[in-house]
């Protein structure tokens, strides 16, 4: 059994002392207050879904544009040529290329968060499937990262579009920002994500979709969110 440090235990005691059911904004405020690490911790959601993760038709995945961003510089690379390469560069892509980009990544370079590509480049990108696939970095038409409107997806990713999907346990872990964000920004991101997630409920999933929602900072204690309040979002 893992033992928590003094700072974590102090945070737990402080949370217990509140002794009341917290609203979403109060919970977000508490997460900020209880964050104790020396770095700017992420504010993360852990959500238990009412799905059977073993069934393909109950898989939950998608993306959401967080209105307040993600709180860090997002690095986007693009596989494109000609006009589309120019569009990607103007939109803010950190690196744009074709064969040169394949060689760079094949040599071990992975200093990026997202990969986008135009459809005509996917044959080339396929050479990197064994590298990008296991890291969930392979461009995919279903999530919008394979498109001729490459400038639009680059801008979206830079602004804070983030992807989510359930794990093998039927849960989703998702970051809504940093503990340095003010409560209103965290709340806006929280609401945007919850609305998008609720709209992702599979038709074959019956009963309550959001079973349990917990919020915490990277190193902090988990705070349960009132499911009744979520239903009002």
Separation between Cα atoms, residue 212 and residue 222, nearest integer Å = 12
Q: Say what the pLDDT of residue 17 is.
A: 42
**Would you place residue 20 in the very low, low, confident or very high pLDDT band (cuts 50, 70, 90)?**
low
Secondary structure of residue 46 in the 3-state scheme? strand
Q: Which domains does the chain have, with CATH numbers?
A: 20-70+161-230 (3.30.190.20), 76-159 (3.40.50.790)
How high does pLDDT run on average in the chain? Answer: 91
DSSP bridge pairs for 161? 65
Separation between Cα atoms, residue 174 and residue 31, nearest integer Å = 15
Query: Running DSSP on this structure, what letter comes out for residue 139?
Result: -
Q: Say what the pLDDT of residue 43 is.
A: 97
* Helical pair 6-18 and 24-34, crossing angle rounded to 10 deg: 150
Choice between 231 and 110, residue whose per-residue pLDDT is larger: 110
DSSP bridge pairs for 146? 117
**Would you place residue 4 in the very low, low, confident or very high pLDDT band (cuts 50, 70, 90)?**
low
Q: Say what the pLDDT of residue 6 is.
A: 53
Percentage of the chain exceeding pLDDT 90: 81
Q: Report residue 28 as tokens.
A: 């977000």
Q: CA torsion 184→185→189→191, rounded to 10°?
A: 10
Q: Report residue 18 as tokens.
A: 């509140």
Average pLDDT over residues 126-130: 97
- pTM for this predicted structure: 0.84
**Each residue's pLDDT tens digit, 139-163:** 999 999 999 999 999 999 999 999 9
Separation between Cα atoms, residue 90 and residue 86, nearest integer Å = 6
**Each residue's pLDDT tens digit, 29-86:** 999 998 888 899 999 999 999 999 999 999 999 999 999 999 989 999 999 999 999 9
**Would you place residue 11 in the very low, low, confident or very high pLDDT band (cuts 50, 70, 90)?**
very low
Left, alpha or beta for 52 (phi > 0: left; psi -120 to 50: alpha)?
Answer: beta
């Amino acid at each position: 059994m893992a033992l928590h440090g003094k700072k974590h235990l102090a945070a737990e005691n402080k949370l217990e002392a509140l002794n009341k059911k917290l609203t979403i904004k109060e919970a977000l405020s508490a997460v900020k207050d209880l964050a104790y690490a020396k770095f700017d911790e992420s504010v993360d959601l852990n959500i238990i879904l009412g799905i059977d993760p073993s069934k393909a038709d109950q898989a939950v995945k998608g993306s959401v544009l967080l209105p307040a961003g993600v709180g860090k510089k997002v690095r986007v690379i693009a596989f494109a040529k000609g006009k589309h390469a120019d569009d990607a560069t103007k939109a803010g892509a950190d690196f744009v290329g074709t064969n040169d980009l394949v060689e760079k990544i094949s040599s071990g370079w992975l200093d990026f968060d997202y990969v986008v590509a135009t459809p005509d480049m996917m044959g080339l990108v396929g050479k990197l499937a064994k590298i990008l696939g296991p890291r969930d970095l392979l461009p995919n038409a279903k999530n919008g990262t394979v498109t001729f409107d490459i400038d639009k997806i680059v801008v979206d990713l830079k602004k804070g579009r983030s992807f989510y999907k359930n794990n093998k346990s039927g849960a989703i872990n998702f970051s809504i920002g940093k503990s340095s964000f003010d409560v209103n920004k965290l709340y806006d991101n929280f609401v945007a994500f919850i609305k998008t997630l609720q709209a992702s409920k599979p038709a074959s999933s019956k009963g309550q979709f959001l079973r349990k929602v917990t919020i915490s900072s990277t190193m902090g204690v988990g705070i349960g969110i009132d499911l009744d309040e979520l239903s009002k979002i």
